[in-house]
Structure 1
Amino acid sequence: MTAKIEVSPEIKGLIFDLDGTISDTMPIHYIAWKNAAARYGIEFTTELFEQLAGIPLYPTVEKLNKLFNKNIDPQEMGDSKEQEYENNMHKARPVEPVMEVIHRYHGQLPMAVGTGGGRQISQKSMHLIGVDQYIDKLVSADDVTHHKPHPETFLKCAELIGVAPKDCLVFEDGILGIQAAQTAGMQVVDVTKHYEVTIGQE
């Protein structure tokens, strides 16, 4: 049993990443990327996955093109990966220590989700684990110009919930997301310290 995540009394708003933070979707994303990349002769390792976590769909393919000197159509590969993910996303389980925070502060503090995923699939993911009953504010990859580690996603979340960035606490599992929160001047919790991450374990 992991320790309860504490929230400091001066915090006035909570912001959550989605994949790997509220919903344990990362193993499903990883398998989908691994299979999609294999079709183009790329070995998609867990290290590579962690390095690219938080980057939206098509820009991830652009990064792979640079890293492996390929000329893959981002939409073609991205869409095949996303389709496989969508077919398996029902297997994701909520990250219990983070859901406990959401239940505890529902109706007490304003909350938003800030994700690098597209709006449609993020809404579906939130619905599947039931978090949409508690949080209706969402900033997705479709809603910003600059993605994590740029702070725009989290700054828009703060604006949506009407809380100054310095008074927001962000829950994240990715390096880029943690950097984004810090750059936005927000406090941040690395949720990977609170649950068992199983990426790459099939």
Structure 2
Amino acid sequence: MSRMHPDLAPRNAACLLFDWDGTLVDSQYTNYRAMAAALRQEGIELAQDWFDARTGLSSAEMIRTLLDERGLSLARPVEQVVAARDALFLEEAHTVRPHAAVLAVVEAMKHRLPMAVASGGARHIIETTLKHQPFHDAFQALVTRDDVERGKPAPDIFLAAAEALGAHASRCLVYEDSDEGIAAAHAAGMTVIDVRPFTRR
């Protein structure tokens, strides 16, 4: 078990909310490969730097943003492309590893503070990937894009997670790795720690 970095310590928080992709787990390249392969089936090439700059968006929102920016259209509904992306990702879900710095926080705070995963990802993807993680039993709640009307940067996911834990938003601490997620945490009235300085190699 690695030691928790002092800059990641919860301080006075009553509950902890963790983003999933890029925060709890290093799934960036696996997510990119799955999305790129799904879009390639549509004859669309996806650059990794474009993808990396929009990791706070859900898959559907990312695809719609790409189509709007390029003035493109799909041969099939966005939902079918997302389903293809999800299937490709799930084939690799067992290879996804936790970010050590954030894992140390979870291990230190397990049984001490209520914790939830609050992600713009899809529930079935996270539930499947979570089974392969060392912290699979550490969270009291899982809230995803499937559970709310609006994704990040709207605050809905974080507010729903706080409610699931029975905690007031102002006492929640969010761990995030995207600009959209940080904006969502602020919009929810929560304190947020940007984990990117601790997770980027």
User: Shared topology, TM-score over 0.5?
Assistant: yes
1:154: which partner in 2? Answer: 158
The 3-state SS of whatever aligns with 1:132 is coil
- Give the total of aligned pairs: 197
Q: What is the root-mean-square deviation in Å for CA atoms of aligned residues? A: 1.9
Retained in 1: the 8 A contact 2:3–2:104? no
Retained in 2: the 8 A contact 1:59–1:74? no
| Residues 82-97 of structure 1 mapped to structure 2, 5 A cutoff | 82-97=86-101
The 2-side partners of 1:67 and 1:34 are apart by 16
1:187: which partner in 2? Answer: 191
The 2-side partners of 1:54 and 1:86 are apart by 19
1:103: which partner in 2? Answer: 107
| Residues 169-184 of structure 1 mapped to structure 2, 5 A cutoff | 169-184=173-188
Deviation of 1:87 (Å): 0.7
**What residue identity is the alignment partner of 1:23?**
V
Retained in 2: the 8 A contact 1:151–1:180? yes
* Cα distance, 1:9–1:192 mapped onto 2, change above 3 Å: closer
Match among 126, 129, 132 for residue 125 of structure 1: 129
The 1-side partners of 2:38 and 2:112 are apart by 42
Deviation of 1:3 (Å): 7.2
The 2-side partners of 1:80 and 1:118 are apart by 13
Retained in 2: the 8 A contact 1:19–1:25? yes
Deviation of 1:2 (Å): 9.5
Match among 32, 36, 39 for residue 38 of structure 2: 36
Deviation of 1:109 (Å): 0.9
Deviation of 1:140 (Å): 0.8
Deviations 1:152-182 (A, max 9, x none): 0001111111221111110111111111011
Stretches of structure 2 lacking an aligned partner (at least 5 in a row): none
The 1-side partners of 2:187 and 2:163 are apart by 16
Match among 51, 54, 67 for residue 52 of structure 1: 54
**What residue identity is the alignment partner of 1:145?**
E
Stretches of structure 1 lacking an aligned partner (at least 5 in a row): 198-202
The 1-side partners of 2:200 and 2:84 are apart by 28
Deviation of 1:76 (Å): 2.5
Deviation of 1:189 (Å): 1.1
Deviation of 1:7 (Å): 2.2
Deviations 1:43-73 (A, max 9, x none): 3123321332122222322222211212212
Please say which of residues 26-35 and 143-152 is displaced more in the overlay: 26-35
